[in-house]
A and B are shown apart, each in its own frame.
Chain A
Amino acid sequence: MRIYLLKRLIEIVPTILMITFVVFVMMRSIPGDPVVALLGDAYTEDDAIKVRAEYGLDRPVLVQYVIWLGKLVRGDWGHSILNGRPVLNDVLIRLPVTLELIVLSMAVALAIAIPAAIIGAVRQNTWADYTATSVAMIGVSIPEFFIGVLLLLAFSIGMGGMLPSSGWVYLPGTCPTIVCAASLLGNAHHVLMPAIALGIGRAALLTRLLRASMLEVIRTEYVTTARAKGLAERPVVLKHALKNALIPTVTVMGLQIGFLIGGAIVVETLFAMPGLGTFGIDAIIARDYQQVQGFALLTAIAFVGMNLLVDITYTFLDPRIRYTG
């Protein structure tokens, strides 16, 4: 297992390098320039040339990438071209918000998907199954921002402003700023709607997948044997069938992290959350290359890290799975 983990960790390095390189080249290939935004009203061609030279933006892209990588190896994630703030500092401030959102939205997704899939599979072709399947279809079809707007209308504008429409309250002890609101209840209030908005789409997908997987598993011989042994239906389904049916779902959950990061951009913007998603989209819109690189690097690490975690989870779900070097 240790050797396997080591090999996987080594494999992560070229993956992340590839991702950051592609993002680096793509950002410089699309139209737009941070220098234009930086100079704003005072824009002159002479100043633009000087500023580009100052930030090394006039050098070949490959040279710029090697310089960025060299700094990264020394722990320097660079500074924002527009506001001079250290990128690492800014992404680390934003990361906990997005991590919490992603974890909770996945929890929302599972909390909906597991019971819905079990009901759908155990009571196949009944009204309960049709309802679960139909709701799942609707959930997949509705984009996050629309669900978010509906939630805003229902719980912030309606119902006497039951839930806050925007902003963030940190978990106690996690404040990254001097002026900061932190409380468990406040945090729960602020994260609930974004987590639901982001989680519902994933719930729908996982429901469909888990239902199909459950249908397959509950027809296998070992489940029939368990029933024949006289086990009650509940332990047969929850203990024997569900655990095995979860394996493909867990794989998809790992892949869903990428979608959740993408969805977080939309949801964080809608709910004005100070997360990594809004950081990333602001950086892309402003063409702040250093910030975009920081965002890409961190999300790449998060993505491959979560997928590694998923692979490790298999061993807990199915004892037959053993990783060797």
Chain B
Amino acid sequence: MRMRRLRLGVAACLAVSLVAAGVTTADAQKRGGTLRVAYGNEILGLDFHTLPGYEMLWVASNVGCGLISLTPDGKIVPDAAESWEISPDGLAYTFKLKKNVLFHDGTRLDASVVKFNIDRILDPATRASTRTFYAPVHSVEVLDSHTAQIRLKYPYAFMMHMLAAYRTGLILHSPTATQKYSVEDRKAGKPEAVVGCGPFKLVEWAKGTHLVMDRFDKYFEPGVPYLDRIVIRVIKDAVTQMAAFKAGEIDFIADFSADHVDTLRAQNPRAQILTGKETTPMVAMMKVTVPADGKPMSKDRAPHAIFNDIRVRKAVGCYGIDRKEIVKIAYKGQATPWLGIIPPGSLDTVDVTHMCPYDPAKAKTLLAEAGYGPQKPLTFELMTNTEKSVFHVIATVIKEQMARLGVTANLRLVDKPSWMLTATQDGPFDMYVEDLASLLSVDQNAYLSATTAGWNSTRHVDTKVDEYYARYAREMDPAKRRAIAKEFQEFSADKLYWNTISGSPFYQIAQPWMKGYVYQAEFKVFYKKVWLDK
């Protein structure tokens, strides 16, 4: 009798497990296949620590691994680190590393690797793109073979966010490969020099032709990645991207033009159109100061002839711009009219758009107070660049809105490098339209708008902005931090050193058979859990 019960029990368990196995099999991710990806822009190079460009960072996310990562809902999750501890004073971050993490060259990841990589970023000679974010770091100590401690000079509330996701986060290079090969080898994309610990290893980068990554079979996370290979091609023209997508020549468009989304949707009703709250600001920046001695970047500053006057900034950038109309025309309503210094989808963002309602009468009054009117009409130059067609559309709408105020905005269309040179090197401009960078938090915007930032393109000199950034970043209490963020964004909207027009929507397009991809805006493009259902 007891034996029978046992048999029945075993049979029941087996039945349950078979059903479970059946469910699992039916839903199981299929292994294998090649994911064909289209990029809209060329990859600049493959030294992940020094070179700019999202296209490169999206490769880095897959070739490299970091200590920690970030989920779409903002949770910090382990990557090569299995756990971490933050000291009560917020000055020491101790990371316990997983013991099975291998680089693609077969070397093992240990605590010395973490020290090597962060020291490399901190070294001014490296000229790391992220060095500015590591300003609070004092040193990295190796506590034991698999425990690394990052010590800070002062508490920094965004240390974990920075390591996880600022410019895709900390990417760990193999020290062996880094020391053996030159930075030029890595920039050029020599596979033996570009060695990470991510789910895919670099096979080949033939600039202008393709970038190929293959599955790394010894990746530390069991069972992933599912894909055998990823092939990335550059297709710049949106019409060609659509044709290639419609013909099934590509599976995924990593960055698709907002202008063409409706057309693509109509042509491909089953396409997965991935987007979210905007994390990139579309701005109309007004220059505040100019070099007094005429030498660009001079520390000796003089007021800009037009926009140093807060009344003119407010007349033009605040009450004179109809943000809703711009969004309606330029984005067919598919963006958020916005004013805050960080975009709608960023951490601790606050909607302060109500501070600048469209009010042409008030704008005219302010202009009159500043001495402009029919006798002395205001004329300024509005620069934008050819990178995205939407920039020119927005600039044209602003020109039209200015005309309603009796203000003449003369458009100057330049190419992207000319704009970059003008913006970063204190070149002559009155206002420019651009969409700058994707921002995870208020803190991340410091490198674009603090007085000391190279990218402080309006060249404002108000150190109160720097104080806000410092207070915000060093406040460890989230509630108090949010209060500072709100106060700062209101301050910024009032002063208009930074003038947001709207969010800049970001779209990715996937074929219906591409499964397991999680949209994380420009911050992360991970393929490790992607599989092809075909």
Interface residues in chain A, defined as those with a beta carbon under 8 Å from any beta carbon in chain B: 30-34, 36-45, 47-48, 50-51, 79-80, 82-86, 90, 93-94, 149, 152-153, 156-157, 161, 164-168, 176-179, 269-272, 274, 278-279, 282, 285-287
Determine how close the nearest CB of chain A comes to the CB of B256; give it in whole angstroms.
15
With the chains together, A84 CA to B50 CA distance in Å? 13
Question: Is B260 an interface position by the 8 A CB rule?
Answer: no
Partner of A32, one of B184, B208, B248, B418: B418
With the chains together, A83 CA to B485 CA distance in Å? 38
- Report yes or no: A176 in contact with B239, Cβ–Cβ below 8 A: no
Within 8 Å CB of A83, what residues of B? 44-46, 51, 187-189, 207
- Report yes or no: A31 in contact with B209, Cβ–Cβ below 8 A: no
Question: Is B221 an interface position by the 8 A CB rule?
Answer: no
Task: Give 21 pairs: A residue, B residue, CB < 8 Å, sorted on A.
Answer: A30-B418, A38-B51, A42-B50, A42-B130, A83-B187, A84-B187, A156-B243, A156-B244, A157-B267, A161-B248, A164-B247, A164-B249, A165-B243, A165-B247, A165-B249, A166-B233, A177-B206, A179-B204, A272-B234, A274-B208, A285-B417
- Report yes or no: A84 in contact with B185, Cβ–Cβ below 8 A: yes
Question: Is B414 an interface position by the 8 A CB rule?
Answer: yes
- Report yes or no: A31 in contact with B236, Cβ–Cβ below 8 A: no
- Report yes or no: B425 in contact with A166, Cβ–Cβ below 8 A: no
Partner of B235, one of A43, A93, A272: A272
With the chains together, A271 CA to B246 CA distance in Å? 15
Question: Is B128 an interface position by the 8 A CB rule?
Answer: yes
Within 8 Å CB of B248, what residues of A? 161
- Report yes or no: A177 in contact with B418, Cβ–Cβ below 8 A: no
Q: Which of under 10, 10 to 19, 20 to 34, or 35 or more describes the interface residues of B?
A: 35 or more
- Report yes or no: A82 in contact with B44, Cβ–Cβ below 8 A: yes
- Report yes or no: A274 in contact with B209, Cβ–Cβ below 8 A: yes
Interface residues in chain B, defined as those with a beta carbon under 8 Å from any beta carbon in chain A: 42, 44-46, 50-53, 127-132, 167, 183-185, 187-189, 203-204, 206-210, 212, 231, 233-237, 239-240, 242-244, 246-249, 267, 297, 414-418, 420-422, 424-425, 427, 437, 447, 454-455
With A31-B421, A167-B233 given, is the CB distance from A152 to B243 under 8 Å? yes
Within 8 Å CB of A44, what residues of B? 454
- Report yes or no: A42 in contact with B129, Cβ–Cβ below 8 A: yes
Determine how close the nearest CB of chain B comes to the CB of A130; give it in whole angstroms.
33
Determine how close the nearest CB of chain A comes to the CB of B211; give it in whole angstroms.
10
Within 8 Å CB of B51, what residues of A? 38, 40, 82-83
Partner of A165, one of B50, B189, B240: B240
Within 8 Å CB of A269, what residues of B? 236-237
Within 8 Å CB of B210, what residues of A? 177, 179, 274
Determine how close the nearest CB of chain B comes to the CB of A273; give it in whole angstroms.
9
- Report yes or no: B421 in contact with A36, Cβ–Cβ below 8 A: yes
With A42-B127, A287-B417 given, is the CB distance from A270 to B237 under 8 Å? yes
- Report yes or no: A149 in contact with B239, Cβ–Cβ below 8 A: yes
- Report yes or no: A282 in contact with B239, Cβ–Cβ below 8 A: no
- Report yes or no: B418 in contact with A31, Cβ–Cβ below 8 A: yes
With the chains together, A193 CA to B63 CA distance in Å? 35
- Report yes or no: A45 in contact with B236, Cβ–Cβ below 8 A: no
